[in-house]
Structure 1
């Protein structure tokens, strides 16, 4: 999980250089760290030769510094699974929803996960309260109001404060193994829809998204109705896209949803045009045949094959012993891909 995320925050690896013609792909699979660092330096030099203004260069410089520092902090916790919690900064400690967030933070830590939040008050503080300081990570944002680090994470080496929302969002998604959305305002919806968009379009690794409410709450139920009655009914999304998230008002069910996603499935990686699903245990021949029959629609050529680690995966020795399922994914139907992962976990 972490090895894939750390190297490839956006899963499709074949990208055109410098915003060039997307038909002209380049293979960076053999690039070293030094090769990529050289490209960063060359790009910086081109900004100057292109005549970029001071504001543009300052933005890139600040963003790069923020990301470098965050990579350094998160690298200390590489290999430890993490859950990102989003929700309102205005939720008060006396509200039922606050207690639900505390309970979820506590229970997900028992399941072996660290908790990432925006580090502010409300739901973010509640998640950290349940997780406690040692298992909490904070990615704060500089704002003139509402966004001060909560007392659980304040002063901790795992607290990062960002200037830009886009760098902050990148860290939330890149470093997480699951996202849990609590009721919130514009920011919560922004973060939730961005996460779903990144998964739906294949610009992020696959992970569970859970919408968690207080017992009997209607916030996410009404939201889910809107998704179904407006987006789905008007064919703005596909039926399988509903598999990219789940809605519950039960903390234990939310925890189970995350644990079940990683019951057999481990991580994914594209290797020379094929999608490789790394598994914690192999699947049976009968399950393989079921997959070939049921998910042929997302494999336009070739077939689903069980395999060992491919030579191109040699840079991830920790995953070398995991069995693989590889196939030529159409890179479109990510809702169906999620259903395939669910099928593997059930089998």
Structure 2
């Protein structure tokens, strides 16, 4: 396709205008690096298909970032499960009730926008309380009727960009029985949590009472993976099998009872808390989790200078600041993430009876 001089001139003006204000806009240094990388890619001898893939990836990401941006401070639960589950199945009804209960306490729901369990998630969440991340496939129908036409419905060309946002935007994961796609999503979640490529987040494996799907799966994990040293024994802390709506929601929301969020500043891990913990509780953490520290101890800290800088209004005008939250800092070894989950569970056990927390807010 031949580009017109008018189109090129307009693009030139837009690029010039952006460059002229890079030193003033938030994250200008990162935007500069992205532009520089794009220019380097343009110098490579790429085929047209390569450029079409790159363009489509950016298009997928652009629309997803735009849709999710207004909801960045609302906690969300991603629901995975089979597209083939009929609406008459008990597990379908369970997924509907789970989404209803989660949205009732303030969570928003994310699904793959298809039928079956995905449909149940959007149905249960109700109007304006869910997202649908649909994949464009030539042999399957479009989005389910409970998300079709919704401004929070996003159409993805690629599975990998879709999966990125199914996991990036969520704070908790509920996986119902499903086929290869569901297993792929479950193991991707586990892999990212096990390796620290995703922030800590809880994973509930949901099934009806008496169901065998996850029981058989868990036996395989224990007997074929853990027992043979293919995973660590603690890696089973990354998930929990739940057989009721109340149990699943309590597990997922309870993950944020004391623990709020985390981030790295240099090589130090900062844990933000919804409430401070006692000196005795801190001593207990240092006694029982010394094995995951490279050096030093787990200590209280004020917000670090980099945190303060990142939360300035010029950088995040819509940010709900976390600077008021109590913090712990540790030199985590960035290897034993299952043990880090155990630390978070221990933290949540320190909640006082008077604790008021809002798992739907972040």
What TM-score does the superposition give when structure 2 sets the normalisation length?
0.86
Give me the whole-angstrom Cα distance separating, in 2, the residues matched to 1:293 and 1:72: 45
Of stretches 35-44 and 188-197 in structure 1, the one that deviates more from structure 2 is: 35-44
Aligned 1:118-267 pairs, distance under 5 A: 118-267=112-261
C-alpha deviation, 1:182, in angstroms: 0.3
The answer for the alignment partner of 1:19 in structure 2 is none
Residues 141 and 147 in structure 1, CA contact (< 8 A), matched pair in contact too: no
RMSD of aligned Cα (Å):
1.1
Q: Which residue in the other structure is 1:331 paired with? A: 334
2:16 match: none
Q: Distance in 2 between matches of 1:193 and 1:232?
A: 15
Of 285, 290, 311, 1:291 maps to 285
Q: Which moved more, 1:54-63 or 1:227-236?
A: 54-63
Aligned residue pairs total 317
For residue 133 of structure 1, report the CA deviation from its aligned partner.
2.2
Do structure 1's residue 108 and structure 2's residue 108 form an aligned pair? no
Residue of 307, 316, 326 corresponding to 2:311: 316
Aligned to 2:87: 93
Pairwise CA distance, 1:316: 2.5
Identify the residue that residue 268 of structure 1 maps to in structure 2. 262
Whether contact under 8 Å (1:199, 1:205) holds in the other structure is: yes
Secondary structure at the residue paired with 1:301? strand
State which of 68, 76, 84 in structure 1 corresponds to 2:78: 84
- Corresponding residue SS for 1:169: helix
1-side partners of 2:54 and 2:258: how far apart?
40
Q: Which whole-Å CA distance do the structure 2 matches of 1:107 and 1:259 have between them?
A: 11
Matched residues in 2 for 1:272 and 1:40: separation? 22
Structure 2, unmatched stretches of 5+, are 1-24, 313-320, 351-362
Q: Any conservation in 2 of the 1:89–1:146 contact (CA below 8 Å)?
A: no
Measured in 2, the distance between the counterparts of 1:322 and 1:208 equals 21
Q: Which residue is 2:53 aligned to?
A: 59
Query: Take 2:139 and 2:340, find their aligned partners in 1: how far apart are those partners?
Result: 41
Contact 1:91 1:122 in 2 (8 A): yes
Deviation digits for residues 67-115 of structure 1, max 9, x if unmatched? 0111010001120110000000000011111100001010111121000
Give secondary structure in 2 for the equivalent of 1:214.
coil
What is the CA–CA distance in structure 2 between the aligned matches of 1:200 and 1:147, rounded to whole Å? 35
Measure the CA separation in 2 of the matches of 1:214 and 1:158. Answer: 29
- Does 2:28 match 1:34? yes
Deviation at 1:54, TM superposition (A): 1.6
Moved more, 253-262 or 146-155: 146-155
Partner of 1:12: none
Offset, 1:285:
0.2
Superposition deviation, residue 147 in structure 1: 4.9
Q: Distance in 2 between matches of 1:60 and 1:332?
A: 32
Q: Which moved more, 1:141-150 or 1:65-74?
A: 141-150
Q: List structure 1 segments (4+ residues) > 6 angstroms apart after TM superposition.
A: none
Distance in 1 separating the partners of 2:290 and 2:101: 38
Which runs of no fewer than 5 residues in structure 1 stay unpaired? 1-30
